Amino acid sequence: MGAALAVYWKPEGVFWLICVMAVGMLVCLWLIDGNAINNDVARGGLGDAKDAKDAKDDGEPAGIMTLLSNKALVIFAICVVIFHFANAAMLPLVSQKLSLGGDTDSGFAFTSACIIAAQMFMIVMAMLCGARADVWGRKPLFLFAFAILPIRGVLYTLTKNSFYLVGIQSLDGVANGIFGVIFLLVLADLTRGTGRFNVAQGALTALIGVGATLSNVIAGWIVQFSSYSVAFLFLAGGCRSRRHPAVCVLHAGDRTGATERGCSRDERQIGLDCSRRQDLSNRAQD
């Protein structure tokens, strides 16, 4: 729709479309029944009063320092910043590269094509990760998303063909489709029982903005004083180190013994103590 408005009406039509969709989103939010939401569960708490009592929990959310002292959560936050630092500037740079030597309309059309191609793959990958994340594990999928970024960065430097660049941009949908699902799953795992899921999500979302902003500022500066290829290689270099936090901390472990004391393999690897949850589950069955 955005491409059609830009080509057949005027480029500013894209912004009008955003306004219309924002209004539609607000209408959908207004239709949600607030009484149907369990606020305790929604923020990562135990939710059930009996479970909270059995777990010797007073039902109050954990202190903010609980999140700051969670080493796995802090390093996960660093990984999130690095991911978006390497990823955020790639689409704007590709859009600029596609517009070189052409008119505004063709630039809008190819930029829209990049977004559509990425979104199509993003939908497929999000559905796949949602269905298989518990089987394959969060960490292998998360590392796969990181591995795609340097591949994209290098491929962008090898061609100026607009259609090839659009095809390469579809890999953005693969990486972000995985990230969008795994980000929430890992965050839910790390904050389960604390009642601070929303706080942690808000903090990490703010860090995403920090990483994306720095990505565009620094990559734009590199393009101005060097070239697009150097900027793409710089962004790709941020995710290819073998000492990357995602490799050091989120490296997938041995697949043998998928469960132990009621904990999933991912929960054991990120250091979660889920024995309490298993005890609650056993009591509920009794």
Q: How confident is the model at residue 220 (pLDDT cuts 50, 70, 90)?
A: very high
Distances (CA, A) of 207 to 83, 100, 220: 11, 32, 20
Instruction: Give per-residue pLDDT as tens, 147-192.
Output: 999 999 999 999 888 888 888 989 999 999 999 999 999 888 888 8
Q: Is the pLDDT at 223 greater than 50, yes or no?
A: yes
Strand partners, 264: 259
pTM for this prediction: 0.71
Amino acid at 195: G
Residue range 15-41: average pLDDT?
86
Q: What is the 3-state secondary structure (H, E, C) of the chain?
A: CHHHHHHHCCCCHHHHHHHHHHHHHHHHHHHCCHHHCCHHHHCCCCCCHHHHHHCCCCCCCCCHHHHHCCHHHHHHHHHHHHHHHHHCCHHHHHHHHHHCCCCHHHHHHHHHHHHHHHHHHHHHHHHHHHHHHHHHCHHHHHHHHHHHHHHHHHHHCCCCCHHHHHHHHHHHHHHHHHHHHHHHHHHHHHHCCCCCHHHHHHHHHHHHHHHHHHHHHHHHHHHHHCCHHHHHHHHHHCCCCCCCHHHHHCCCCCCCCCEECCEEHHHHHCCCCCHHHHHHHHHHHC
273 against 222, higher pLDDT: 222
120 against 259, higher pLDDT: 120
Q: How confident is the model at residue 2 (pLDDT cuts 50, 70, 90)?
A: low
Pairing of strands 259-260, 263-264: antiparallel
Q: How confident is the model at residue 28 (pLDDT cuts 50, 70, 90)?
A: very high
pLDDT at 275: 42
Strand partners, 260: 263
Instruction: Give per-residue pLDDT as tens, 54-84.
Output: 444 445 666 667 777 888 888 889 989 999 9
Instruction: Give per-residue pLDDT as tens, 98-130.
Output: 777 655 566 677 777 888 888 899 999 999 998
Q: Name the CATH topology of 64-252.
A: Growth Hormone; Chain: A; (1.20.1250)
Q: Where are the domains of the chain?
A: 64-252
Residue range 256-280: average pLDDT?
41
Residue range 23-36: average pLDDT?
89
SS3 state of residue 260: strand
Distance of alpha carbon 204 from the chain centroid: 10
Element (H, E) at 264: strand 263-264
Distance of alpha carbon 219 from the chain centroid: 20
In whole angstroms, what is the distance from residue 80 CA to residue 139 CA?
A: 13
Distances (CA, A) of 34 to 29, 37, 39, 76, 160: 10, 6, 9, 31, 51
Q: Is the pLDDT at 222 greater than 90, yes or no?
A: yes
pLDDT at 43: 67
Q: How confident is the model at residue 9 (pLDDT cuts 50, 70, 90)?
A: confident
Q: Ranked by mean pLDDT, which of 48-62, 88-102, 200-214, 265-279 comes out on top? A: 200-214
Strand partners, 259: 264
What is the average pLDDT score of the chain?
76
283 against 3, higher pLDDT: 3
pLDDT at 257: 33
Q: Which of 71, 41, 72, 46 is nearest to 59 (CA)?
A: 46
pLDDT at 106: 66
